Amino acid sequence: MTGLAGLAGRAIDKALDASIAGGFGEPGYLLRRHLPAWPDDPRPNALVGKHIAVTGASSGIGVAASRQLSDLGAHVHLIVRNPDKATPVAAALPGASTVWMCDLADLDSVATCAKELDEKGIDLSGLVHNAGVMPARHTLTPQGFEQSMAVHVLGPALLTELLRRRLSGGRVVLVTSGGMYAQRLRIDDLAYREEPYRPAKAYARSKRAQVELLQPLQDRWSDLTVAAMHPGWVDTPGVRESLPGFARLTHPVLRDADAGADTITWLAATETRLPGGRLWHDRQVRPSNRLGRTAAGHDERDVLLDWVYEALEPWLEPGRNPHPGREEGGLAREVE
């Protein structure tokens, strides 16, 4: 009976995944929770004595993840662009919390935040890269990068690099988007200058870049466990503001923020040994491509990784090599 139940559960899960709306929406989450393969919840107090940082923790999924992590005993570090907005969020958490100001689009701000965290001697068990942005028009950051790529790729990579010694043995979770399934990696146009700018497409492209970097970053950060998760279709302020038509159309099946944050919390708190460099959805590893045309090759990922570390060069320590095992010159100078 157990074997038949397992087979039936896997068939249901695959059918939900194939249906897109069923798997990404609230029905998929509610149904999967009752399937035999659904992993156990983290034990109560699993994160007592541990520190976990969450970017974009002042609204939506970031608030829900912070609350769930706090419920498990973590000291949650809310890394946000607007501390005034995050202060009431922190005050409502059941456990200890600290608010840090950081604009992920501004690499100087990222470096300052990392330095302050490091100087406080805070050892992190996890770092959740949840901050997101969908600019209405083509926007450049203070350092001249396209804003979506800066917030979703460059900022998270720099923050993780600068906190490496504080994260040893920890978990890094990148919150991506199911929208990336429709996009391929465009290494020829990472700045999004070769065609008319479309906000949702730029957002999805940057999320595709996140996912394509998973294994290269896992290879580089071998002392960490690197994971990406996509939360499904979630009713958040960001979705309502940036994609009002999509929000209205899908409203009947949108997940709430707690359902969207569930896999973030599970990845950060489970005692199960996790494979690194994987994409997750609803506590299971998922394929990173659904369409053959979106698959990237090793050479393309190498080009992307080189682009990232060339961009980050002024903020990194000398001697870092984006490709472990290759003989290559130092990357940069350390931030003072």
Please, which residues bridge with residue 79 across strands?
55, 100
Beta bridge partner(s), residue 280: 229, 285
- Reported as a single tens digit per residue, the pLDDT across 60-84 is 999 999 999 999 999 999 999 999 9
Model pLDDT, residue 323: 53
Least confident range from 95-99, 167-171, 196-200, 327-331: namely 327-331
Cβ distance 61 to 230 under 8 Å? Answer: no
Q: What is the pLDDT of residue 321?
A: 53
Question: How far apart (Å, rounded) are the C-alpha atoms in residues 156 and 86?
Answer: 19
- E strand map for 150-293: 171-175, 225-229, 278-281, 284-286
pLDDT, tens digit (0-9, with 9 covering 90-100), for 230-284: 999 998 888 888 888 888 988 899 999 999 999 999 999 999 999 999 999 999 9
Q: Strand 171-175's sheet: what is its strand order? A: 97-101, 75-80, 51-55, 126-129, 171-175, 225-229, 278-281, 284-286
pLDDT digits (tens, 9 = 90+) for 188-201: 999 999 889 999 99
* Neighbouring-strand partners of residue 97: 76
What pTM does this model have? 0.91
Q: Please, which pLDDT band fits residue 8 given cuts at 50, 70 and 90? A: confident
Tokens 């989450």 belong to 29
At residue 335, the pLDDT reads 21
Residue 267 · residue 41 · CB < 8 Å = no
C-alpha distances (whole Å) from 35 to each of 11, 232, 296 are: 10, 18, 32
Maximum distance among all Cα pairs of the chain, rounded to whole angstroms = 63
Question: Residue ranges of the domains in the chain?
Answer: 1-38, 43-315
More confident of the two residues 141 and 318: 141
Mean pLDDT value across residues 4-19: 84
Q: Which residues pair with 53 in a beta bridge?
A: 77, 127
Do residues 238 and 134 make contact, with C-beta atoms less than 8 angstroms apart? Answer: yes
Rg, the chain, Cα only = 19
Q: What percent of the chain has pLDDT over 70?
A: 93
Pairing of strands 278-281, 284-286: antiparallel
Q: Look at domain 43-315 and name its CATH class.
A: alpha beta
What are the Cα distances from residue 92, in Å, to 88, 256, 277?
A: 6, 19, 33
- Give the pLDDT of residue 153: 99
Mean pLDDT on 54-58 = 98
Instruction: Name residue, tokens 């159309």.
Output: 249
- Cα–Cα distance, 188 to 303 (Å, whole number): 10
Tell me: the pLDDT tens digits for 295-329? Answer: 899 999 999 999 999 999 999 975 555 555 443 32
Least confident of 29-38, 146-155, 233-242, 313-322: 313-322
Identify the residue whose tokens are 């059918």: 15
